[in-house]
Amino acid sequence: MWQAARLALGTASALGLSRFAYGLLVPAMRDDLRWTLAEAGAMSTANGLGYLVGALLTAFVVRRAGVAAAFRRGMALTAITLAATALSGDFTVLLLLRAAAGVAGAVVFISGGVIASRVANRVGSGTPITVYFAGAGLGIVFGGVTIPLLGDDWRVAWVALGVAAGVATLVSWTAAAGGGEPPAATAGRARVRALWRPAVAYLLFALGYITYITFLSAYLDDHAAPTWQVVLTWAALGAAVVAAPALWSRPIGSWSGTRAMATLLLVLGAGAGLALAAPTPVVILGSAVVYGATFMGVPAAITALIRTTVAPADWTATLAAFTTVFAAGQTAGPWLAGIVADRTSTDATLAWTAVLCAAAAVIVVRVGPPRRRSAPRPPRRRPAAPDHRRRGS
């Protein structure tokens, strides 16, 4: 579990710091750089596009360098790109830096997931997988506590995120040794056809979940939330992510088929919609806690599904394929939701999450228990040909 906890700094950096903390910076960057919500969403779209490219490249990187080296290099690049984001206010430069952070984040996400799966196989439990994905909450808590207290100085905030990612890189460096296999000639084959319904649901989830966390601070800002409420909301959201393994490790590891994934999606959609019931601090806080306790469980459920239905040799390729689907969804989601919000209000971004996650749950709930991988059957022996030779007298 100590190795899984240090690996979890991978999702803390690649997701919590690199992607989700950006939502806290939207109000300050939007005011200083005079962005529309669509332009603010375009930054998340650029990050998602980079994530898509990274997902396509990860199998190649793993083949050349090995999964442990891929994880470490992705972590280092994430820290560098976060700190570099403070250097410019130019829209194009920022788009490129957010895309670069997405590439690095995808490499970390996939390679770390493979290492966590190997650790889970070694200990005979799915808990290392849920612990790994829960690490994103650590990054959210760090950003939620520090960024609002820095006021409108978004450049200092990016430097702080880069430094935190650098520390995470150092602490997690030796934990990647759990994937210490030599570079392979192949990363296996992507086994997606038999899991097409979960793949479609994962696409809708990616389209929806990212808009909530991207525009949560803008939603709070539009409702004149004080700084203490922003800090409390984000800290509670991150803490709920960290606590998620205590809630979901057993269901994800023991429930058949995609039952856990469907349950997570339904609860997630309900949590996102809860904030629309009344924009009061208590209701919004409850919405953030439900969201935090469920959204990272969906990638964990997908990883566990792959681990139990796909041969180990094909884990990297299959997880990369699902991450590509995921990246495609989260690339388009913030930009599309931002366009809708510009014409309505930031309430639309929360409704977007609720509707798409509910739709994903409806799709995946129809899936029966998947076939578990089995050992190959031994080749059938042909019966011996009859001996027609005349026996000696």
- The CATH number of residue 279's host domain is 1.20.1250.20
The domain of 68 spans 2-364
Tell me whether residue 342 is in a domain. yes
Tell me whether residue 372 is in a domain. no
Mean pLDDT of each 10-residue bin along the chain, 393 residues long: 88 92 92 91 90 87 89 96 95 96 93 86 76 89 90 92 96 76 56 83 92 90 90 93 84 76 93 90 95 89 83 79 85 87 90 94 70 47 51 43
Which DSSP string corresponds to 194-256? Answer: GGHHHHHHHHHHHHHHHHHHHHHHHHHHHTT--HHHHHHHHHHHHHHHHHHHHHHHHHHHHS-
**Contact status, residue 231 vs residue 141, Cβ threshold 8 Å:** no
Return the pLDDT at 88.
93
Tell me whether residue 161 is in a domain. yes
Which of 306, 280, 24 shows the shortest CA–CA distance to 149?
24
CA dist 37 and 342 (Å) reads 6
Give, in order, the Cα–Cα distances in Å from 367 to each of 69, 319, 372: 36, 19, 14
Tell me whether residue 387 is in a domain. no
Number of neighbouring beta carbons within 10 Å of residue 273: 18
115 Cβ contact partners less than 8 Å away, ≥ 6 residues apart: 7, 67, 68, 71, 175, 176, 178, 179
Domain tally for the chain? 1
Longest Cα pair distance anywhere in the chain, in angstroms?
108
Tell me whether residue 379 is in a domain. no
Tell me whether residue 135 is in a domain. yes
Tell me whether residue 270 is in a domain. yes
Tell me whether residue 263 is in a domain. yes
CA dist 144 and 232 (Å) reads 8
Burial environment of residue 35 by CB neighbours within 10 A (0 to 12, 13 to 18, 19 or more): middle
Cα of 125 vs its chain's centroid, Å: 21
